A = this chain, B = another copy of it.
């Protein structure tokens, strides 16, 4: 199997949906250029869950892994070019290349560590510290993300975030 043959290229315009929560996520996207986020709806409002930029993989984790529906949408914050890998092809890789299984397990470890840090940040920090933590983790891209999206990611209001930023 030629991996490159299985990979397709797509482009999305700013604000365009890459994945819709009313479908099962069958593809994982490698961002070649641009910026995307996952979000879900809470009380009719969009809550940002995660941001990804160049050279990162993104999908709707539980939907992609379990091939079931989940709440997350993925959209483009900027015009974005991606490579798409279909879940079937990933499964093929996992089944035929043992080192893929290991790679997959290890990269989950990285994600796990990221989530643990985020939990600590959410539990014990003020809004200001949350913002600083965010700038640190997403330092390459935080200037490219609209304020309201950052606020909902951090679980604080847009107004509070605006005030924090004003004091710098």
Number of copies: 2
Instruction: Establish whether residues A122 and B124, one from each chain, have CB atoms under 8 Å apart when the complex forms.
Output: no
Taking CB atoms, residues of chain B closer than 8 Å to A105 are 101, 104-105, 108
Taking CB atoms, residues of chain B closer than 8 Å to A104 are 105
Which of B47, B101, B115 is within 8 Å of A112, CB to CB? B115
Please, how many residues of chain A have a CB less than 8 angstroms from a CB on the other chain? 24
At the interface, is chain A mostly helix, strand, loop or mixed?
Answer: helix
Closest to A130 in B: B123
Contact of A109 with B155 at beta-carbon distance under 8 Å, contacts A101-B98, A122-B123 already known: no
Taking CB atoms, residues of chain B closer than 8 Å to A98 are 98, 101
Answer whether residue A62 sits at the interface, using C-beta atoms and an 8 A cutoff: yes
Q: With A and B bound together, what is the CA distance between A154 and B119 in angstroms? A: 10
For chain A, residues 105 to 133, give those with C-beta under 8 angstroms from any C-beta of chain B: 105, 108-109, 111-113, 115-116, 118-119, 122-124
Q: With A and B bound together, what is the CA distance between A116 and B123 in angstroms? A: 14
Answer whether residue A139 sits at the interface, using C-beta atoms and an 8 A cutoff: no
Answer whether residue A102 sits at the interface, using C-beta atoms and an 8 A cutoff: yes
Taking CB atoms, residues of chain B closer than 8 Å to A47 are 124
Give A1 Cβ to nearest chain B Cβ, in Å: 19
Q: With A and B bound together, what is the CA distance between A108 and B115 in angstroms? A: 12
Chain A interfacial positions (CB closer than 8 Å to B): 42, 47, 61-62, 65, 98, 101-102, 104-105, 108-109, 111-113, 115-116, 118-119, 122-124, 154-155
| New A-B pairs, 20, CB < 8 Å, besides A104-B105, A108-B108 | A42-B124, A47-B124, A61-B116, A62-B116, A65-B109, A98-B101, A101-B101, A101-B102, A101-B105, A105-B105, A105-B108, A108-B109, A111-B112, A112-B112, A115-B119, A119-B119, A122-B123, A122-B155, A123-B155, A124-B155
